[in-house]
A and B are shown apart, each in its own frame.
Chain A
């Protein structure tokens, strides 16, 4: 069972990292780093912090586009190219969907490691490296794993890849902005509205709680218990999304 899931993961991983999209995102990130260096030079006195901050934001953005776009379109490509039918004659639907999720988590890790190496190298060269930024990248991984889970759910749910891609992307952006929006809304809301807004906020992934970019940039990190609870939250939410995607996929006819 585990080997079958891993076989699907490796097929997705190998295919994903050799895809043109992966290479394009790597190139995009390299150019982005060059831009960050330029921005750092323009910000006199704060150049290291700007470089750290912009670099982390670039890693998040590029990896988000990579995993969401790549997962959604590979799912539909497999359906259209009918290789999905071959996979489903080899593996059960649960094994396939689990393998797909793990495969894309592996792609995410692989890209984050590559990006972290490039980013750290640039920071070293400009005397801006602090080890805390690597913890910031771990926070990004937790956020992106939830984005991968959502992409999987939307891919199983919708028959159009564009809708699945846009839903995944907008949901990520919405959850990013959820906390500040909630604070503004709660100021003028009545008790009933407060309950509704809070329910909605806690139902959606609380990505703001996983985001430690700004702290990492200043070399201040939360304590170990934060990392443990954040890891459990990320993993738990990802498992919940896997369960939903699996339920949908088991009922679909291909």
Chain B
């Protein structure tokens, strides 16, 4: 049954690379205005799922729906802001130049650049060449790029990777702010404390299968665990045992 407030729906989504099933029959609904956290060990399929969502790769089977209709490239270009994991912007440009060219190409107001850079704490370094940026600054610039087109859905793949605790907090506060503005946020992370801080619901993905989808409270109750980390480990172990017994 389709949830009326769903902004994104993954239906029977599978993706295979040669003989490897990277995603198997993923069914997931993302509600409008929620922060959804995708958790999973390395190689679980988090990035593959995000790549399908951004339409960088085509699913082998199944579909993704945006506002109850099939997701189109145009939706991604107009309504999705995306920050990939560990990306590197053009090193010989300044943040200001880079964002200005993007704004010009997309017919966006250039005044919005400053507000984006201010939000991510890069306003004072906007004229520096990107090659002089630290990993954390690059990650923040990535977030500014994702926010530039004022997207309805923000997709972040490990957004706090390489950030110091202050930077991490800054990004998380920004995510909370964006959530309060009604943005839908879909992000993957390995850091449980971050997920606990900002997510309304979580999904646990392991070996390409979505094991659990629900609130953090439901997840902790399911595994009778005091922490998300402990619950996550139990979920993954249980899944591994199920696979071995087969």
Contacts of B92 in A (CB 8 A): 14-15, 18-19
Docked-complex contact A11 and B88, CB < 8 angstroms: no
Residues in B83-127 with C-beta less than 8 Å from chain A: 83-93, 97-98, 101-102, 104-107
Contacts of A89 in B (CB 8 A): 54, 76-77, 80-82
Q: Which of A2-10, A129-137, A142-150, A162-170 lies on the face that meets chain B?
A: A2-10
Interface residue? A81 (CB, 8 A)? yes
Chain B interface, number of residues (Cβ within 8 angstroms): 35
Docked-complex contact A82 and B97, CB < 8 angstroms: no
Q: Which residue of B lies closest to A81 (CB)?
A: B88
Chain A interface, number of residues (Cβ within 8 angstroms): 23
State in angstroms the CA–CA spacing of A183 and B97 once bound together: 52
Interface of A is mostly: helix
Docked-complex contact A82 and B87, CB < 8 angstroms: yes
Partner of A86, one of B82, B91, B101, B104: B82
* Given contacts A4-B105, A85-B56, A254-B56, A11 and B93 within 8 Å (CB-CB): yes
Q: Which residue of B lies closest to A22 (CB)?
A: B92
Give the shortest distance, in Å, between B157 (CB) and chain A (any CB): 9
Contacts of B57 in A (CB 8 A): 253-254
Interface residue? B168 (CB, 8 A)? no
9 CB contacts below 8 A, A to B, read A8-B105, A14-B93, A81-B87, A81-B88, A81-B89, A82-B84, A82-B86, A85-B84, A92-B77
Give me the interface of B with A, judged by CB distance under 8 Å: 51, 54-58, 73, 76-77, 80-93, 97-98, 101-102, 104-107, 142, 145-146, 149
The 4 A-B residue pairs with the shortest CB-CB distance, nearest first, are A7-B105, A81-B88, A18-B92, A82-B87
Give me the interface of A with B, judged by CB distance under 8 Å: 3-4, 6-8, 10-11, 14-15, 18-19, 81-83, 85-86, 88-92, 253-254
